[in-house]
Structure 1
Amino acid sequence: MPSPTFNWTELIDDICAGTWISPLTGKRYPAAPYDKIVFAETLKGREADLVSSLGFEGPFAVVCDPATFKAMGARVAKALRGIGEVTEIVLDHPHADMATVRDLQERLKPFPTAVAVGSGSINDLTKFATLQNGRRYCVFATAGSMNGYTSSTASITLDSGLKVSLPAQVPAGFFVDLDVCAAAPAWLNAAGFGDCLCRSVAQIDWWMSHRLLGTMYRHEPYLIEIPDEIRLMEQARGIAAGDIEAIGTLFRVLTLCGLGINFTGVSNHGSMGEHQISHYIDCFAGERHPGSTHGQQVGVTTLTMARLQEHFLSREQAPEVGPTQIDEADMARRMGPEVAAQCAEYYRKKAFDQKAADAFNERIGNLWPELRDECIEMRVGPQRLAKYLEAAGGSITAEALGIPVEFYREAVSHAHEMRDRFSFADIACDSGVLKQLASAEG
């Protein structure tokens, strides 16, 4: 157990203050747009002071769902009644979609600010709705279930059914009561662990895309995250047990991953091929969706992407691609015409014609020995990743999550069609082996 003086937000404070200096470049980055990030073993009795320290004044809107209201929302609302009028907005099993955004946006119009109490959907809905209203918000975490608390994007399902990352806003304040979060259902914190697990596969995809296609890449997000990630993997069993120190490390990694956007302006450093598979599941499973969360799915899809990358990285010979085959009729059958048209537009941005495929093959052929070594240095093997995830209490197969195996294989085979981010799944598709590799997953 950390000492009472343990500084949970060490490094995080420097990044937020703009005093962190990159050891790679010697560059000092602008302050991150957060007024206050506070982790403590307990925040009981401090809720009103934390909110008012942001300049927030009543009337207050406290946004939560039934579970997060019970976990901490009622306590926050009671504390805020000491300094102003409070309205509790309890969303019943909310989904982070545009219909719910519009409803919440309307309900929040009378309030100068909003106080979210919850994790994934509650945070995404509140950060996006308040941005549309021109208001600020803060968030009290109730579980370490995802890395979007400090992200400036929100994962929202459009009216068409396509799930995308939309520009949103960061919270003015992010507050973590570790006692509350450690008492959350163990599978929620294991989901957050799964969301953290993807760093190595996302980094390999992003670096490969940078080296071969010249897309933007920044190493700073990994500089700030990896030391804590190593500690987190060592503490995996503590996640399952609700150990305060392990939960604190989990929140540090989740927060640092979100803060990585401060250096990049995009989420690529923690969202590549593995997230595309999870998004496909959320968008197209329909009644086949078992109710698994984003983080749970990313844990499993990370293992899939790690195996897919290993297929190529275990070979000395460079992959060779052909022209990208975009079957828009099949996309429409699986996705519906409107979403398929949106996805095809993204897909075409990274598609190869014969000339582009030839140029890519020449480049990867020349770079492969060096690029392969670079990717292997970043790599964490799939067996090792699975061991960590299982120790943290996470499911390691789609079947264990309740996702039908055949549908999961469809997601692995086609998720790369949804975005213009280039991953090893694209190489697998354009080299003709993706469906074969997908057939082993599930």
Structure 2
Amino acid sequence: MGRWTTLIDEMVEGRWINPETGKPGTVPYEKVVIEDHLDGREADLVTALGFKGRVAVVCDENTHGVMGARVAKALQAAHNSGISSVDTIVLDHPHADEANLALLREKTRHVDFLVAVGSGTINDLCKYVTATDGRAYCVFGTAPSMNGYTSTTASITESNGLKVSRPAHAPKGVYIDLAVNAAAPTYLIASGFGDCLVRSVAQFDWWLSHRLLGTFYTELPFDLEIEDEKQLMARAPGLAKGDIEAVGYLHRVLTLCGFGVSFTGMSNHGSMGEHQISHYIDCFAGDRHPGTLHGQQVGVAALTLARLQRQILDDKNPPRIGPTKIDEADMIRRVGPEIAKVCVSEMKQKAFDAAGAEALNAKLNEIWPKLKAELEAFSVPVDVMVKALKDSGGPTTAEELGIDVDFYREAVIHAREIRKRYSALDVAADAGYIEAFAQNEH
């Protein structure tokens, strides 16, 4: 067993006991391999999954040169493996959207299974296409830029421009050559670190939702990754230098975070208020979008949430909530009538009328000292988070992202509208100070 897949191997093989159920906890993967080098093993890794027949190696113009051509060549040279043909599909600057899903379906309709070679976009496209037509796929990751390699959901931009997380399925195999991944551009590595940095703020938000609204919560996904997170935070400077040890810990945290979705059926442990800000940027920036990656945006948004959560905790009194304001006319102005309709529906699922607000205030007054202590336990000091993200080579402000500051502030104020998940953004908005808070974000 590889040193990087301790615990991961136990889960994949069904030997790990879920402490919440006392029963073996399994994940829907046949193999997860994270090693310093995978040179010469590509064909064996794929054929060990039982893949036979016609295969398409799917990559983009960058990952083809990085690893796609190498994987295709290895599969073409695999004798007596059961693979009858190998096509290489090189997508041109793809996005994970409806148009590229249709394109990939058409280009691969004649093959039996897919081998994705890339990171976020390539993985999501292959994952969703195969999930919808019953084929299998595996993935060779080329950059530790996000936690989706071991997630059973795919982030897809719909035709109306709204970015959503769609149920998909797991790759049969996930293969990480750390030498390849450590050589990835620094901004891709820092993007993955940004995606990992959310743990503390997401845990704060999820626990807050659980305590105030009674939503489901479990410590399990946090327990899986917390020790590796400590090791990763200590090695943040190594990420900017392409250090294999640092990138190895990054992939472990990304993998275990993805596994958490398998055990909980949801992504709350790694996606709360900070992801809503990033999704708002992707959905509505339009020509103002600087081309930044999801993880880069999430890292900056995590710092915003950390500051907002600290403001909540530093107040000796609990926040006082008012009735939720849903301004549909303003939503239509900002995002159009079709998406506004979706946003209104999401908001109504967590909105408070006057009586509900008073009931929540009474609850906050009763539990605030205990709740405050519980939330403090999840928090990481903001300056520690800022330094780690900066050390990794990632941007730490909207200005460094290249995003218009006024638009970023709009995202902070209105991001809560796009998803029913309840977070510190909702608390600040219903308490009437989200606008004032956002004016200090830049």
Match for residue 76 of structure 2 among 81, 105, 124: 81
CA displacement 1:266-313 (0-9 Å, x = unmatched): 000100000000000000000000000000001100000000111101
The corresponding residue for 1:418 is 418
Q: What is the rounded CA distance, in whole Å, between the counterparts of 2:268 and 2:293 in structure 1?
A: 20
Tell me the number of residue pairs that the alignment of Structure 1 and Structure 2 aligns. 437
The corresponding residue for 1:195 is 195
The corresponding residue for 1:362 is 362
Does the Cα contact within 8 Å between 2:25 and 2:263 map onto a contact in 1?
A: no
Does the Cα contact within 8 Å between 1:238 and 1:246 map onto a contact in 2?
A: yes
The corresponding residue for 1:389 is 389
Letter in 1 for 2:58: V
Q: What is the rounded CA distance, in whole Å, between the counterparts of 1:304 and 1:30 in structure 2?
A: 35
Q: What is the rounded CA distance, in whole Å, between the counterparts of 1:102 and 1:353 in structure 2?
A: 43
Residue 17 of structure 1, CA deviation: 2.1
CA displacement 1:210-244 (0-9 Å, x = unmatched): 01111011111011100000000000011000001
Does the Cα contact within 8 Å between 1:61 and 1:88 map onto a contact in 2?
A: yes
Q: How does 1:58-97 map to 2 (within 5 A)?
A: 58-83=53-78, 84=83, 85-97=85-97
CA displacement 1:37-78 (0-9 Å, x = unmatched): 001111110000000001112311011100111110000010
Does the Cα contact within 8 Å between 1:109 and 1:133 map onto a contact in 2?
A: no
The corresponding residue for 2:28 is 33
The corresponding residue for 1:240 is 240
Match for residue 38 of structure 2 among 32, 39, 43: 43
Residue 8 of structure 1, CA deviation: 0.8
* Alpha-carbon RMSD: 1.0
Does the Cα contact within 8 Å between 1:73 and 1:117 map onto a contact in 2?
A: yes
Q: What is the rounded CA distance, in whole Å, between the counterparts of 1:155 and 1:113 in structure 2?
A: 21
Does the Cα contact within 8 Å between 1:105 and 1:132 map onto a contact in 2?
A: no
Tell me the secondary structure at the aligned position of residue 3 of structure 2. Answer: coil
CA displacement 1:392-433 (0-9 Å, x = unmatched): 111100111100000000000000000000001000000000
Q: What is the rounded CA distance, in whole Å, between the counterparts of 2:206 and 2:11 in structure 1?
A: 23
Out of 81-90 and 301-310, give the one that drifted further. Answer: 81-90
Q: How does 1:86-165 map to 2 (within 5 A)?
A: 86-165=86-165
| 2:47 is the counterpart of 1:52 | yes
Tell me the secondary structure at the aligned position of residue 40 of structure 2. Answer: coil
Residue 6 of structure 1, CA deviation: 5.5
Letter in 2 for 1:431: A
| 2:3 is the counterpart of 1:18 | no
Letter in 2 for 1:419: R
Tell me the secondary structure at the aligned position of residue 115 of structure 1. Answer: strand
Taking structure 1 as the reference length, the TM-score comes to 0.97
The corresponding residue for 1:206 is 206
Q: How does 1:231-270 map to 2 (within 5 A)?
A: 231-270=231-270
Letter in 2 for 1:70: G
CA displacement 1:324-374 (0-9 Å, x = unmatched): 110001001111111111111111111111111111111111111101100
The corresponding residue for 1:333 is 333
Letter in 2 for 1:20: W
Tell me the secondary structure at the aligned position of residue 139 of structure 2. Answer: strand
Letter in 2 for 1:136: A
Report % sequence identity.
Answer: 57
Taking structure 2 as the reference length, the TM-score comes to 0.97
Q: What is the rounded CA distance, in whole Å, between the counterparts of 2:341 and 2:21 in structure 1?
A: 45
In 2 relative to 1, CA 378–159 (structure 1 residues): closer, same or farther, beyond 3 Å?
same
Residue 385 of structure 1, CA deviation: 0.2
Residue 315 of structure 1, CA deviation: 1.5
Residue 28 of structure 1, CA deviation: 2.4
The corresponding residue for 1:311 is 311
Tell me the secondary structure at the aligned position of residue 403 of structure 1. Answer: coil
CA displacement 1:127-165 (0-9 Å, x = unmatched): 001111110100000000001110000111111111010
Gaps of 5+ in 2: none
Residue 18 of structure 1, CA deviation: 2.4
Q: What is the rounded CA distance, in whole Å, between the counterparts of 1:270 and 1:238 in structure 2?
A: 23
Residue 106 of structure 1, CA deviation: 2.3
Residue 377 of structure 1, CA deviation: 0.6
Gaps of 5+ in 1: none
Tell me the secondary structure at the aligned position of residue 150 of structure 2. Answer: coil
